């Protein structure tokens, strides 16, 4: 008898996305247990395996169907040059960074034209090539595996194209960002055809659960009492809330209770604005799950 099929998710083994990828899968209700080796972890309450690899291999594995799903930075996905492309299912809201062009402080940058004839060091030659082509610029690309930020100091290149999150690395190396060419975050990708058609409903459930976890991460449940006359004004202040529930309060004609799911973070400033617009008894509650 053949063994029942298992869904494979490729995740980064170690690095910036590793912990968050695994936590996301755990938050979706899947219990991860270490396997016999480091490459494969198992989910004990569902037929799912985690294939733990270098992030650079994830697009190929998923594109070729070695894994059914993957979690990888959009930057790595865009840089992929071989094999079938995986399908992007949804952005995941972590691992945010930008691929930027940066130049030594004082470099006179007046738009992409300023890159004409320059040498640009990068670990993302394909994405950079596309950017240069779009802008009809001819420049030399120096491909480096890492430490791209030292290239101008070593006179390997005049300009660099690298990932930036806080900007501290650029600052330390006397560089400043002059152009953003790609906005990136971790994304869930899937292969075009699952390794076994019997896995379809599990795949759908995985997507729905991950969507739920991602959506509830910033979401908040807001409750408040509001003057009926200012209802419209108050609901407009609530971030990312559509159609709040409005309930009458016993014995009060002028005040109603408002409950709303806000899809975005609710800051103190928002509460202050609600209060100033007449709301009272404002409660903001976390949401654990959403579907
Ligand atoms: O071993 P493996 O190949 O799997 O990992 P890796 O070393 O290739 O990647 P890793 O773990 O460093 O990053 C994984 C993913 O995290 C990247 O592909 C991006 O999608 C995302 N990410 C988010 C980042 C950053 N932020 C980031 N800041 N990846 C790299 N950096 C580097 C950047 O290259 C530069 O050297 O951090 C430096 C800049 O950071 P700041 O904060 O100084 O601006
Ligand atoms: Zn890598």
288 neighbors 214 (Cβ within 8 angstroms):
no
Q: Which atom of ligand 1 lies nearest, measured to the CA of 76?
A: 18
Q: Which atom of ligand 1 lies nearest, measured to the CA of 55?
A: 4
**Cα of 92 from ligand 2 centre, angstroms:** 18
pLDDT for the residue numbered 243: 85
**Degrees (nearest 5) of the Cα angle 132, 134, 139?**
20
Q: Which atom of ligand 1 lies nearest, measured to the CA of 53?
A: 4
**Cα of 126 from ligand 1 centre, angstroms:** 17
Q: Which atom of ligand 1 lies nearest, measured to the CA of 74?
A: 20
- For 125, the token pair is 């030659």
Beta pairing, strands 140-143 & 32-33: unpaired
69 neighbors 189 (Cβ within 8 angstroms):
yes
Question: In a structure prediction context, what are the per-residue pLDDT tens digits for the chain, which is 291 residues long?
Answer: 678 999 999 999 999 999 999 999 999 999 999 988 899 999 999 999 999 999 999 999 999 999 999 999 999 999 998 888 999 999 999 999 999 999 999 999 999 999 999 999 999 999 999 999 999 999 999 999 999 999 999 999 999 999 999 999 999 999 999 999 999 999 999 999 999 999 999 999 999 999 999 888 888 999 999 999 999 999 999 988 878 999 999 999 999 999 999 988 888 999 999 999 999 999 999 998 888
**Cα of 19 from ligand 2 centre, angstroms:** 15
pLDDT for the residue numbered 116: 98
Pocket test for ligand 1, best of 163, 182, 185 (most atoms within 8 A of CB): 163
Q: Whose CA is nearest to atom 29 of ligand 1?
A: 163
Residues 220-286, CATH architecture: 2-Layer Sandwich (3.30)
Which residues neighbour 147 within 8 Å (Cβ) at sequence distance 6 or greater? none
Q: Helix axis angle, 18-27 relative to 200-218, nearest 10°?
A: 100
71 neighbors 186 (Cβ within 8 angstroms):
yes
Q: Whose CA is nearest to atom 3 of ligand 1?
A: 54
Q: CA–CA separation, 289 vs 291, rounded Å? A: 7
Q: Whose CA is nearest to atom 2 of ligand 1?
A: 54
Give the residue extent of every domain in the chain.
Answer: 7-94+186-216, 97-184, 220-286
Name the H helices within 136-199: 168-172
Asked if the domains at 97-184 and 220-286 fall in one CATH topology, the answer is no
pLDDT for the residue numbered 1: 63
**Cα of 16 from ligand 1 centre, angstroms:** 6
Q: Whose CA is nearest to atom 33 of ligand 1?
A: 163
Ligand 1 first shell, C-beta below 6 A: 12, 15-17, 54-56, 73, 75-76, 95, 97, 162-169, 184
Q: CA–CA separation, 210 vs 188, rounded Å? A: 9
Count each helix (H run) and each strand (E run) in the chain, helices first. 8, 16
Taking a 5 Å cut-off on Cβ, the residues next to ion ligand 2 are: 55-56
Considering only CA atoms, which of 131, 162, 165, 164 is closest in space to residue 145?
162
206 neighbors 138 (Cβ within 8 angstroms):
no
One of 3.40.50.150, 3.40.190.10, 1.10.240.10, 3.60.10.10 is the CATH number of 97-184, namely: 3.40.190.10
**Cα of 18 from ligand 1 centre, angstroms:** 11
Residue 4 in 3-state DSSP? coil
pTM beyond 0.85: the answer is yes
Q: Which atom of ligand 1 lies nearest, measured to the CA of 169?
A: 43
Residues 7-94+186-216, CATH architecture: 3-Layer(aba) Sandwich (3.40)
Q: Which atom of ligand 1 lies nearest, measured to the CA of 185?
A: 20
Q: Whose CA is nearest to atom 21 of ligand 1?
A: 95
- For 161, the token pair is 């194209």
pLDDT for the residue numbered 240: 82
């Amino acid at each position: 008898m053949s063994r029942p099929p298992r869904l494979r998710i490729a995740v980064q083994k170690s690095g910036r996305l590793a912990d968050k990828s695994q936590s996301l899968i755990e938050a979706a209700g899947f219990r991860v247990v270490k396997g016999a080796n480091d490459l494969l972890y198992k989910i004990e309450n569902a037929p799912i395996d985690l294939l733990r690899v270098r992030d650079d291999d994830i697009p190929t594995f998923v594109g070729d169907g070695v894994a059914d799903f993957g979690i990888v930075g959009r930057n790595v996905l865009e840089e992929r040059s071989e094999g079938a492309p995986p399908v992007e299912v949804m952005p995941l809201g972590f691992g945010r960074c930008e691929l930027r062009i940066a130049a030594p402080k004082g470099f006179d940058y007046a738009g992409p034209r300023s890159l004409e004839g320059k040498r640009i060091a990068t670990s993302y030659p394909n994405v950079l090539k596309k950017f240069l082509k779009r802008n009809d610029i001819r420049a030399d690309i120096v491909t480096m595996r890492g430490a791209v930020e030292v290239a101008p100091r070593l006179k390997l290149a005049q300009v660099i194209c690298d990932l930036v999150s806080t900007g501290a690395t650029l600052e330390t190396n006397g560089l400043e960002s002059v152009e953003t060419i790609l906005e990136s975050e971790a994304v869930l990708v899937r292969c075009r055809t699952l390794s076994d058609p019997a896995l379809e409903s599990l795949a759908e459930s995985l997507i729905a659960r991950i969507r739920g976890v991602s959506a509830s991460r910033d979401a908040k449940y807001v409750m408040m009492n509001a003057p009926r006359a200012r209802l419209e004004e108050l609901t407009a202040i609530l971030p990312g809330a559509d159609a709040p529930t409005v309930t009458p309060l016993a014995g009060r004609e002028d005040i109603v209770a408002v409950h709303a799911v806000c899809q975005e973070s609710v800051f103190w400033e928002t509460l202050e604005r609600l209060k100033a617009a007449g709301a009272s008894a404002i409660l903001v509650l976390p949401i654990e799950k959403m579907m």
